[in-house]
Amino acid sequence: MASLLRLPSLLKPSAAAARPSALLRRRCRAGTAASVSASRSHAAAATTGAAAPAPPETRGGGDREGQVTPRSVDFNAWYTDVIAAAELADYGPVRGTMVIRPYGYAIWEAIQDYLNVKFKETGHSNMYFPQFIPYSFIEKEASHVEGFSPELALVTIGGGKELEEKLVVRPTSETIVNHMFTKWIQSYRDLPLMINQWANVTRWEMRTKPFIRTLEFLWQEGHTAHATLEEAEKEAMQMIDVYTKFAYEQAAIPVIPGRKSRVETFAGANRTYTIEAMMGDRKALQAGTSHNLGQNFSRAFGTQFMDENSQIEHVWQTSWAISTRFVGGIIMTHGDDAGLMLPPNIAPIQVVIVPIWKKGDEKSAVMEAVSSVQNTLKEAGIRVKVDDSELRTPGWKFNFYEMKGVPIRLEIGPRDVTNKSVVISRRDIPGKQGKEFGVSMDPSILVDHIKGRLVEIQASLLQKAIAFRDSNIVDVSSYGELKEAIAEGKWARGPWSASDADELKVKEETSATIRCFPFEQPEGAKKCFMTGNPAEEVAIFAKSY
């Protein structure tokens, strides 16, 4: 959420903020030229066009500055290196901001495309609310203003004059939505009112991380009003289910859906539901939330309706959101030392075709075959790109598209043209094990083969993530066991019925928080590992982003 805007920090970027742009470009250009495996060495020696000399970094050896930090050595450095080298984002001139580059934005568009369909299928309509919110609106809901005050960005001057009332740059929209709902809702006939907006949000974060926590980010936020508590609860649960299915089916991220504790509940909500994802460094990422707001905001703003018995009632509300933070979650869930690894369902490029020739007279036949294969895959609905640039060697391109996480690479050279076949390399299986030689170019064979491999890769990434998650969750029966699990960087799962004060004590002593009370609960009697008292459910504790 976002702290008070200070003009000096806005107008004068820090050296750290200004420096990374050149660094990112250098990493992108040099870092992706990491060593080519022995199985690809034949291609590294070839050039795509005899007249174009290979740049120094494509010739092997030489300057290796800017290579991506190995994931196993320094996860945070690997993450930022991959964002740079895969051309996902760059740092903005204002500390804590980022510029989302086309490839990174294409991943966000894939998220939008899926969710937009689901929102409309469940009866929601898209609209847009102003970015500037009167400060008095934020003050109307006590817990809301208390929760957001440290993160608000305020506008006090407009048109060269001091404003009569401070304006808040949107941290979230519950307040302004309620202001408008109060105008639009008069009768039970106006309910349910269910809307969504795709917008930017400003929260003045002190510690930032690209995609995960930035001063400004993109999201969708849904807002609904209902006649009964039961309808609102059903809506809140429905939307967390939409998010859960998206995470599993599209992003191949095995999130754990559940309910937040009172301490972790959204400011102004009665209940918050969440999907929690385990990242590659075993930290938790809150990947999406859905809130049952009860009547807290409707009472603060006087959002009322006349029911079927001519009685005046306050509406019951929900809000729910997923943001560009999810892009960061995809990066940190899937990947290896070679870079990003994108699930095919959300990959902007599902297949990249790399033409290979050594002699100028081979180019025409190779490119004719490449064009034919490209058209075949496009017509089949597969997102395909041809890299026929002549300034890089095939070996450099192999590494570059591995860095970008493209699920499948096709290699087509003179011998493949003669044999009417292609070489297929899977991003999720490195080296020779992931290569297939002699796959027919015949459209009826190639399309089915590629589609089958994309399905396999999607399933493989999900199963790998599930195995990683499950192997790093420890069931605990005492506070000592929880401390030990957290110290090892794992998640701890155990029965919990202790107080909010006990929860805060765990956070203070271990830096771990209750991520959620999972919807799936073990059967049988339980005893709180903190107090020894009976407990109705288990909670998951973890360090988080």
List the chain domain ranges: 75-334, 351-454, 476-542
For 65, other C-beta atoms within 10 Å of its C-beta total: 10
**CA 73 remoteness from chain centre:** 23
Q: What is the pLDDT of residue 150?
A: 80
For residue 486, give every residue at least 6 positions away whose Cβ sits within 8 Å of its Cβ, in sequence order, or none.
492, 510, 511, 512, 541, 542, 543
Summarize pLDDT for 55-65 with one digit per residue, the tens: 332 323 333 33
Tokens encoding 60: 């092997």
Q: What is the pLDDT of residue 53?
A: 34
Mean pLDDT within 439-456 = 97
Could you give the 3-state DSSP secondary structure of residue 191?
coil
Overall size of the chain counted in residues: 545
* 2 against 66, higher pLDDT: 66
Q: What is the pLDDT of residue 140?
A: 86
Mean pLDDT within 439-464 = 98
494, 477 in Cβ contact below 8 A?
A: yes
Dihedral sign for Cα atoms in the order 16, 17, 18, 23: positive
Could you give the 3-state DSSP secondary structure of residue 245?
helix
Tokens encoding 206: 């002190």
Summarize pLDDT for 7-53 with one digit per residue, the tens: 223 223 333 333 334 334 434 333 433 333 333 333 433 444 333 33
Summarize pLDDT for 475-525 with one digit per residue, the tens: 999 999 999 999 999 999 999 999 999 999 999 999 999 999 999 999 999
Q: What angle (nearest 5°) sits at the alpha carbon of residue 311, between those of residues 307 and 314? A: 70
Summarize pLDDT for 371-413 with one digit per residue, the tens: 999 999 999 999 999 999 999 999 999 999 999 999 999 999 9
Tokens encoding 100: 């989302």
Output the CA–CA distances (angstroms, integers) from residue 221 to 84, 132, 170, 288, in the order listed.
Answer: 28, 16, 12, 10
Q: Parallel, antiparallel, or unpaired: how do β-strands 193-202 and 125-126 relate?
A: parallel
Question: Average pLDDT, whole number, for the chain?
Answer: 89
pLDDT > 70 fraction of the chain, expressed in percent and rounded:
87
Of the candidates 346, 383, 336, the one whose C-alpha atom is nearest the C-alpha of residue 253 is: 346
Tokens encoding 372: 């034919």
Q: What is the pLDDT of residue 147?
A: 66
Q: What is the pLDDT of residue 360?
A: 85
Output the CA–CA distances (angstroms, integers) from residue 534 to 41, 127, 256, 494, 499, in the order listed.
Answer: 63, 47, 24, 12, 13
Of the candidates 120, 87, 132, the one whose C-alpha atom is nearest the C-alpha of residue 220 is: 120
The reply to whether CATH 3.30.930.10 applies to domain 75-334 is yes
202, 2 in Cβ contact below 8 A?
A: yes
For residue 230, give every residue at least 6 positions away whose Cβ sits within 8 Å of its Cβ, in sequence order, or none.
none
Angle between helix axes 500-510 and 479-487 (nearest 10 degrees) is 40
- The CATH architecture one would assign to domain 476-542 is 2-Layer Sandwich (3.30)
Position 205 confidence tier, pLDDT thresholds 50, 70, 90: confident
Tokens encoding 95: 């500390």
Examine the pLDDT at 223 and tell me if it is beyond 60: yes
Q: What is the pLDDT of residue 56?
A: 30
96, 12 in Cβ contact below 8 A?
A: no
DSSP 8-state code for residue 31: I
What pTM did the predictor assign? 0.88
> Homologous superfamily of 351-454 in CATH?
Anticodon-binding domain (3.40.50.800)
Gap between the Cα atoms of 229 and 292, Å rounded: 9
Q: Put the strands of the sheet holding 271-278 in their side by side order.
A: 125-126, 193-202, 216-226, 316-323, 284-294, 271-278, 256-259, 513-518, 538-542, 491-495, 473-475
Q: Residue 201: phi, psi to the nearest 5? A: -135, 145
Q: What is the pLDDT of residue 130?
A: 97
Dihedral sign for Cα atoms in the order 206, 211, 215, 217: negative
Tokens encoding 56: 């120094």
Dihedral sign for Cα atoms in the order 304, 306, 311, 317: negative
Q: CA dihedral defined by 499, 501, 504, 509, rounded to 10 degrees?
A: -100
257, 519 in Cβ contact below 8 A?
A: yes
3-state secondary structure string, 254-299?
CCEEEECCCCCCCCCCCEEEEEEEECCCCCEEEEEEEEEEECHHHH
Angle between helix axes 102-121 and 325-333 (nearest 10 degrees) is 110
Q: CA dihedral defined by 308, 310, 314, 319, rounded to 10 degrees?
A: 30
Q: What is the pLDDT of residue 27?
A: 41
Position 143 confidence tier, pLDDT thresholds 50, 70, 90: low
